[in-house]
Structure 1
Amino acid sequence: MKSTPARMPQILLAAISTLFMTLFWPGPCAALPPVERFVLPNQLVVLVSEEHSLPFVTFELLIDAGAWRDPSGKGGLASLTAESILLGTRKRSASEMYEILDYMGTKLTGSCNWDYATISFRSLKKELEQGFAIFMEALTEPAFPEAEIKRRKQNTLGAIQSAKDNPMDAAQKEFRKILFANSPYDHPVEGTEESVPGLSREDVIEFHETYYRPAISILAVTGDITVEEVKEKIVPKLNRWKSGKIAEQPVVTKFPESSLRSLIDRSITQANIVLGHGGIARRNPDYYAVSVMNRILGGSSLSSRVAESVRVEKGLAYAVYTTFQAYRYPGSFQLILQTRNASAREAIELAVKEMERIKQEPVSEQELETAKRYLIGSFPLRLNTQSSLAAFLTQVEYHSLGMDYPERYPTLIRAVTREDVLRVARQYLHPDRYILVIIGNQKEIKLP
């Protein structure tokens, strides 16, 4: 598939966007509004950032109860718990609870990823007292109604089945299954067709009672509220949240030491390819050098080395990019590629060649500066709303980055040198041993 005029506007738009970010976005990141941090007697960490331009208050509660804590054979339990906690309390049914919240214009949501669960709450300031009371009820007195849990499980199984129709989604799940075998990240957050049916209400109750504890939680409060108001009106309610001992769960992540393949045959027109290996943890000091290196290698789907080689010059790929997914524990490096079945072998060879090249010779000064400017320039977009700021604060605390992290981030990125990029490429990229998953028409793909 060669470059055509129809594709040129996309390429031009990407180039203009990169140029704008590179040349015109201010270098320094704005400092966070002042953040007050304090720890309650029950060990809950509270972060407060005042912003009074709009009459809204946002709460983001992060609980160290992600899918990595799922017991063996019970994949999806953390996710089911995070969803079920908002399905009514001992005092109100789900319909009663949401009728009140909707009337007040208050939003209450829950989610879960591999590392942690979150409960998000946003309210007009004038409705804060009643809304926060419901938030605390859901957190500490969930009803976990049997019928609702059953319905959630059915919905999850339906979503799992539907996801099979997306070959790239299926390829990424297969990749994770191989890479993280026998580790806490070895299953999808939502669970599998085998694990979800076996999850019970009793499992959910036990998981909630074990892990939904203040000692492993972080609460960020942002918006139209003062620190004094938080301490006067919110903290007394938070202090009622009972602490509890959380048993340590030692985690050992061991990645495959040799190349592995999973070739899944489907009668489709394009190959969906995931190529990769083990990555780094978020707290790894090399995170910033790896971020710069990845941006140059494949962090942009149009302007990186991999994209230039595979998509722009050869016109082989519909989509191609690389990513390092850094979690609490070591995550993954992935090269994502979609191409015609007949082009799969050539596209893979070109992408791997770029992985090898970035390990062999220093990147150019221009590549280095462009990548650093982009990373610094795009950083403030993470902080542009109350909700995004609250989520950001909990993650900064979770990963022990320090509340001055936004001010330090530009310095950390600027400090990355060409030698650093070469060093981390040599340390963390493994083009000689990787997991390769391809879903497509294997007769047309014809790998050796």
Structure 2
Amino acid sequence: MRKPFVTACLVAVWLSIVSGIAFALPPVQRTVLDNGLVLLVSEEHSLPFVTMYLMVKTGSKDDPAGREGLADLTAASLLFGAAGRTLQQINEEIDFMGARLNSAAGKDYTAVTLRALTKDLDRSVSIFMDAVMKPTFPENEIKKEISRTLGAIQSSEDQPGYVAERAFQKALYLDGPYGHPAEGTKESVGKLTPRMVKQFHQDYYHPNNSILVVVGDVSQQELSRSIVKRLEMWPRKAIPESKALFSAAQKKQVIKVGKPVTQSNIIIGNRGMSRDNPDYYAATVMNHIFGGGGLTSRLMQEIRNKRGLAYSAASFFEARKYGGSFQIHLQTKLPSTDEAIKVAMEDLVRIRTELVSPEELEDAKKYLVGNFPQKLSTQSRIASFFGQVEYFGLGLDYPARYPSLINSISREDIRRVAQTYLQPDASITVIVTRLKEAEDEKVK
């Protein structure tokens, strides 16, 4: 039986948009089952579809040393067979219903998603839950997936953007949990085995380590009849305590990687913040002005529009559960590499030292608040959004609070967070470019 709301609330969320248009979200109900599973439900009956979004709180951050890519391989392998169904049978049933079933692991968590017609809910949920609770992990399919992953990694090494990102993450996070790609490396993926996959699943895939969001054309009665009973059969289990140390480099570095490219791919960045940091909202506004606002951002105006130095110029905060990064991304002609970096750093120093204009601040606020409903424009987006809201502890009233969180930011707040989280003296610069030497060069 369900607990009578260990923690539960019924939330009807309304957002007042700057334009004066009211944006409504269906009510979201939060329940914690006896086995520890957090269940979020939002009824929305405009279309005969249901979306289920299961977030398992494990990702590549939990990959054991030397087994990088294991979380990603485990997520993919869930759908290779379950409870007597083969991969082919799962695919045929899902296709016949016109449903979609996917799984993928990121750095912090794994997401298993289902979208199906309401009339097929019983059948589709059965496949969904079997994949999570009773995967068979067929050895032949796992070996095929390992081969596909190795091939994808090999191909990505010819993509300058991927090479730059991989080098930046490794330099910033050192040997920590965020320092390797979620898909792993050539060295680690080739050592993974079906037995490792089974053990990883046994360690982390449990209801007390999961959040399930259900959005769409389903009633509470239907949930109780067809979904909750299945969920209650999922036994809880102790989750391994993470022994990972989340650290980041604190010294200035320049890393050059030689590739036969026609333009330079550049990442400049430093340690950032976790998603639950109270400064996240001021940093969001600051970044929009600096480099996150597309063609209107300072970086694009200065580097591309005025000087013609770069094909693209942007910045963002990557805020994760246990930390994150601030990054500037540039693509420029080979002869313009040094000048583009110089101008980007000048803009960075400027936003750290000078107050932004009142017009820049107002425009950023209007855009961020006005664009917020786009994050909640489909069932899938709503499900993913509230999964993350729960995971990061933001509160179900977060959509209603978001406008005030953004609108409360001052010009002084912008300068303060820029001084705190943009660190030119501790920046890591990765440049994937054509070098004179045939081998990679590293300059500190």
Question: For 2:192, which of 176, 199, 219 is the aligned residue?
Answer: 199
1:141 aligns to what? 134
Matches within 5 A, 1:287-436: 287-436=280-429
Give 1:419 shift: 0.7
Distance 2:182 2:21 in 1: 36
Deviations 1:197-235 (A, max 9, x none): 101101000000110011110000011001232123211
Q: Which runs of 5+ in 1 are unaligned?
A: 1-23
Deviations 1:170-205 (A, max 9, x none): 111110011111211010000000000101101000
- For residue 133 of structure 2, what is the amino acid of its counterpart? T
Identity %: 46
Give 1:438 shift: 0.6
Question: For 1:259, which of 244, 247, 252 is the aligned residue?
Answer: 252
1:18 aligns to what? none
Q: Which runs of 5+ in 2 are unaligned?
A: 1-16
2:97 paired with 1:104: yes
Distance 1:433 1:245 in 2: 39
2:175 paired with 1:159: no
1:329–1:27 CA distance, 2 compared to 1 (3 A): farther
Deviations 1:380-415 (A, max 9, x none): 111111111111111111111111111100110000
Question: For 2:225, which of 209, 217, 232 is the aligned residue?
Answer: 232
3-state SS of paired residue (1:219): strand
Cα RMSD for the two superposed structures: 1.7
3-state SS of paired residue (1:307): helix
1:33 aligns to what? 26
3-state SS of paired residue (1:395): helix
- For residue 299 of structure 1, what is the amino acid of its counterpart? G
Stretch moving more, 427-436 or 405-414: 427-436
3-state SS of paired residue (1:274): strand
Distance 1:251 1:331 in 2: 15
Deviations 1:95-118 (A, max 9, x none): 112211211112111111101001
Give 1:285 shift: 0.5
Give 1:435 shift: 0.7
Question: For 1:268, which of 236, 242, 261 is the aligned residue?
Answer: 261
2:70–2:197 contact (8 Å) kept in structure 1: yes
Distance 2:359 2:303 in 1: 21
Distance 2:37 2:286 in 1: 37
Question: For 2:64, which of 71, 87, 94 is the aligned residue?
Answer: 71
- For residue 442 of structure 1, what is the amino acid of its counterpart? L
1:298–1:321 contact (8 Å) kept in structure 2: yes
Give 1:123 shift: 1.1
1:274–1:334 contact (8 Å) kept in structure 2: yes
Give 1:169 shift: 1.3
Distance 1:301 1:265 in 2: 29
Distance 2:435 2:311 in 1: 18
Give 1:257 shift: 1.9
2:203–2:240 contact (8 Å) kept in structure 1: no
1:3 aligns to what? none
Give 1:25 shift: 6.5
3-state SS of paired residue (1:437): strand
1:45–1:219 contact (8 Å) kept in structure 2: yes
2:44 paired with 1:61: no
Considering Cα pairs closer than 8 Å and 6+ residues apart, tell me whether 1 or 2 has the greater RCO.
1
3-state SS of paired residue (1:290): helix
3-state SS of paired residue (1:402): coil
Distance 1:27 1:317 in 2: 38
2:204–2:240 contact (8 Å) kept in structure 1: no
3-state SS of paired residue (2:274): coil
Tell me how many residue pairs correspond in the alignment: 424
2:122 aligns to what? 129
- For residue 111 of structure 2, what is the amino acid of its counterpart? T
- For residue 380 of structure 1, what is the amino acid of its counterpart? P
2:161 aligns to what? 168
Q: State the TM-score, normalizing by the size of structure 1.
A: 0.92
- For residue 255 of structure 2, what is the amino acid of its counterpart? S
1:27–1:377 contact (8 Å) kept in structure 2: no
Give 1:277 shift: 0.8
Deviations 1:292-334 (A, max 9, x none): 0001111033211111111111000011111110000111111
- For residue 82 of structure 1, what is the amino acid of its counterpart? A
